[in-house]
Structure 1
Amino acid sequence: MQVNDHRAADRLPAMARGLGYLLASLLTAAVALLALPVLLVPATARAWASWHRRRADRLLRRPRSGPVRAGAWRVLGWLGAYVVTSLVFGLVAVVCAGNAVATAVTVPLWWALPAGTRAGGFAAGVPLTGWGTALTLGTVQFVIFAALTYGLVPPLARLHARVGVALLSPSAADVLAQRVETLTETRAGAMNAHGAELRRIERDLHDGTQARLVAIAMRLGVARESLGEDPELVGRLLREAHENTEEAMTELREVIRTIYPPILADRGLAGALTALGSRSAIGTTLDIGGLGTIPAAVEAVAYFTIAEALTNAAKHSRATGTTVRVARAGDRLSIEVTDDGIGGADETLGTGIAGIRHRVLAIDGTVRVHSPAGGPTTITVSLPCAS
């Protein structure tokens, strides 16, 4: 019995959403007919189609789609189908819901109607001569139209939304073209990022480690020439060379760590993330599922992505805590980092999100950032991890 009650409770909001969707579609279809010359412009038509597909996504509770990129003829074909289906389905909704509402409003006021109009709207020709006739006919009519609204409107709304989504979804050729475009962009970004990384490593080695090694070599050379003549100078030079050697080793380890963190090789991704969370400037909760064997390149991207996300949360979001979830499903590794900060993350402001996106896209992954004003901020990443 409780199951049926829950289904009814779920169906009523669905009916309300479907009714609102169909009535809005009916109105926008009328607007489309009036503004048809404007909507025949491809850019305007695509913007109009994108808005309607987002409406359909909300009704179907699908992830929000991006802008429509279908060809002009495909969008115009959708526009014609949209107008027809909106008018038909919308009028059905108006007839069903309108009669139910009209009956509920007018039956109690039957006595105020002009004498010539006191005939049952459902049982045509039966005069309303008293409360008994009015309530009986009114109840029957209300129940019938309410049942029609309850039963027809939600599936009609979903059918209308699915038709729109299907017509506006890219074809196989469009998907392939977009895929090629994305891969071209990510390849260029990866090449640029790779070049920048090589230049950074070269600069770090040249300006840091190499400079220290040159200084060590010079001190050792002076010490060798002074050997037996100035023991105190030799001792000081050897001491300085030893100190510089330790500093050079430390810098060299830092450079290596930026290429591939040694902790990944020592402890695996789960262990590395545990250590990363313990060093975070703000409280971090880790939820790591079974990961299995993951390619080294994917491990490195996952590690640096989470490290950057935690750094962003500590530096920019005023967060007091973060939650990191890492799980593997088939050949995909999913990462979700959520902080309780103020939100409003903007990757154009140098918050590190652009760097995360470049790393992830370079290995054919996906990134989604949800950061409304007031928070929270959630960064969701999916990485291919098939060996």
Structure 2
Amino acid sequence: MSVRRWVRVLRGLTYLLAALVSGVATVLALPLLCLPGLARRWANAHRDRAARLIGTPLAPRPASRAAGRRAWADPATLRDLLWLPVHAITGVAFGMFTLLCVGNLVPATVATPLWWAFAPADRPRLFVDVPVPDWRTALTLGPLQIVLLLTVAYLVLPPLARAHARICLRVLSYSAAEQLADRVAVLTRTRADVLDAHGAELRRIERDLHDGTQARLVAIAMRLAVARGALSDNPRNEQFLGELLRDAHEGTEEAMAELREVIRTVYPPILTDRGLTGALTAVTARCGVPTRLDVGNLEAVPAAVEAVVYFTVAEALTNVTRHSRATMAGVRVSRAADRLSVVITDNGAGGADDRRGTGLAGIRRRVLALDGTTDVDSPAGGPTTITVKLPCGS
């Protein structure tokens, strides 16, 4: 009997006892749990717990897109509602068997050795209500009951817990058709967001070039034309020509600086010069809050993913500096297979919300453009954790 096996027994015991409690709670609160929103959260909690027991990584279930009366016709809601009676039956049945084993271990391991301390009418009984009239019975049947129940727990509880977990995942898992339909809906919504973001970005670049760089270049051209005319009219007018050429030179440098800023918003040159690690090092060094950077072995990362990671970290750290009142921040970038993970944390006041214009909506749009996910955990009082996961090829 290995230690690892007993750990699985204890995990199965804990899982089944929790299933018993939640099964009873399901029966008692059934009318309330039939509400679509509560049914979804209740089902997701059991699904996640079942996946942890089996060790099966699961993609998060999408939130129901239907509202009002239509929510009752949503296949996801129907699946959640189906789980309520299934769990009430299986959770109570499996849990009662577990409770029977555990409950009968107590008199065998604790009360039976102290048989002599009880009054005759109060002396403990063994499994299935077997009386213990004398010492021989107490010292013989007690250890046998312990061995029997421990053997049952060792052999039965882990597969019983896994069976309940598989039932849970079977009921709450999407069919292939439902997964495909949900995937199409997500991609359709993502495509619309990408097109909107792309159009807004093009308008911003056009406005920056039209109002800034183009205006300066027109002014430079006018000064050079005046200088050329002045030189033709009076070749000795050196002071006037010098002033015009100086203004044109300064305007050229300013126009080049503005043009570099516009280019930087399209694809940061620092990524080309220093790579993703060097670019993130520069961003964290410029942050107004002390920031710890941890970059793992990323291997080759597509340029589009590098740009999204760079802008995500830059925007998130800007939010930390402006809004969080944090004293410390951290950025961790790692890669597992074909997924790149970026985690930005701070110890600030929390309460980050997309609707408050803190840049989180822009981060979500950038990430969704590459079919990634963004998760924001920012309770009031902090801390704040932003987790971004992006596909980056195999």
Q: Do Structure 1 and Structure 2 share a fold, with TM-score over 0.5? A: yes
Q: Does 1:270 align with 2:270?
A: no
Q: Structure 2: how far apart are the matches of 1:206 and 1:196?
A: 15
* Cross-structure match for 1:92: 97
* Cross-structure match for 2:201: 197
* Cross-structure match for 2:302: 295
Q: Deviation of residue 54 (structure 1)?
A: 4.6
The letter for the 1-side match of 2:23 is L
State the secondary structure of the residue aligned to 1:338. strand
Q: Does 1:53 align with 2:50?
A: no
Q: Deviation of residue 187 (structure 1)?
A: 0.9
Change (3 A) 1:118 1:80: same
Q: Deviation of residue 167 (structure 1)?
A: 1.4
Q: How does 1:204-215 map to 2 (within 5 A)?
A: 204-215=208-219
The letter for the 2-side match of 1:49 is A
**1:165 pairs with one of 146, 169, 174:** 169
Verify the 8 A CA contact 1:26 1:91 in the aligned structure 2.
no
**2:27 pairs with one of 30, 33, 55:** 30
Q: Structure 2: how far apart are the matches of 1:43 and 1:319?
A: 34
Q: Deviation of residue 298 (structure 1)?
A: 1.9
Greater shift, 243-252 or 271-280, is seen at 271-280
Q: How does 1:101-140 map to 2 (within 5 A)?
A: 101=106, 107=112, 108=114, 115=121, 120-122=125-127, 126-129=131-134, 133-134=137-138, 136-140=140-144
Q: Deviation of residue 373 (structure 1)?
A: 4.5
Q: Structure 1: how far apart are the matches of 2:370 and 2:130?
A: 73
Q: Structure 1: how far apart are the matches of 2:393 and 2:52?
A: 33
The letter for the 2-side match of 1:183 is L
Change (3 A) 1:134 1:215: same
Q: Deviation of residue 299 (structure 1)?
A: 1.9
Verify the 8 A CA contact 1:57 1:64 in the aligned structure 2.
no
* Cross-structure match for 1:252: 259
Greater shift, 55-64 or 182-191, is seen at 55-64
Q: Deviation of residue 281 (structure 1)?
A: 2.8
Q: Does 1:175 align with 2:182?
A: no
Q: Structure 2: how far apart are the matches of 1:160 and 1:253?
A: 61
Q: Structure 1: how far apart are the matches of 2:97 and 2:357?
A: 52
Greater shift, 232-241 or 145-154, is seen at 145-154
State the secondary structure of the residue aligned to 1:170. coil
Q: Does 1:187 align with 2:191?
A: yes
Q: Structure 1: how far apart are the matches of 2:120 and 2:102?
A: 24
Greater shift, 276-285 or 351-360, is seen at 276-285
Q: Deviation of residue 311 (structure 1)?
A: 2.0
Q: Structure 1: how far apart are the matches of 2:310 and 2:124?
A: 76
The letter for the 2-side match of 1:308 is E
Change (3 A) 1:200 1:322: same
Q: Deviation of residue 103 (structure 1)?
A: 5.2
Q: Structure 1: how far apart are the matches of 2:271 and 2:222?
A: 36
* Cross-structure match for 1:221: 225
Q: Structure 2: how far apart are the matches of 1:41 and 1:320?
A: 42
Verify the 8 A CA contact 2:289 2:329 in the aligned structure 1.
yes
Q: Does 1:14 align with 2:11?
A: yes
The letter for the 1-side match of 2:15 is G
Report Cα offsets for 1:308-366 as digits up to 9, x if no partner: 22222333333344333333444333323333444443232222222111101101122
Give the paired residue count. 379
* Cross-structure match for 1:282: 289
Greater shift, 141-150 or 312-321, is seen at 141-150
Q: Deviation of residue 65 (structure 1)?
A: 4.0
The letter for the 2-side match of 1:92 is F
Stretches of structure 1 lacking an aligned partner (at least 5 in a row):
none
Greater shift, 212-221 or 317-326, is seen at 317-326
Verify the 8 A CA contact 1:306 1:337 in the aligned structure 2.
yes
The letter for the 2-side match of 1:202 is E
Verify the 8 A CA contact 2:111 2:124 in the aligned structure 1.
no
Q: Deviation of residue 182 (structure 1)?
A: 0.9
State the secondary structure of the residue aligned to 1:287. strand
Greater shift, 322-331 or 244-253, is seen at 322-331
**1:239 pairs with one of 246, 250, 270:** 246
* Cross-structure match for 1:360: 367
Q: Structure 1: how far apart are the matches of 2:230 and 2:53?
A: 85
Provide the TM-score with structure 2 as the length reference. 0.80
Stretches of structure 2 lacking an aligned partner (at least 5 in a row):
65-74
State the secondary structure of the residue aligned to 2:127. coil
Q: Structure 2: how far apart are the matches of 1:156 and 1:241?
A: 83
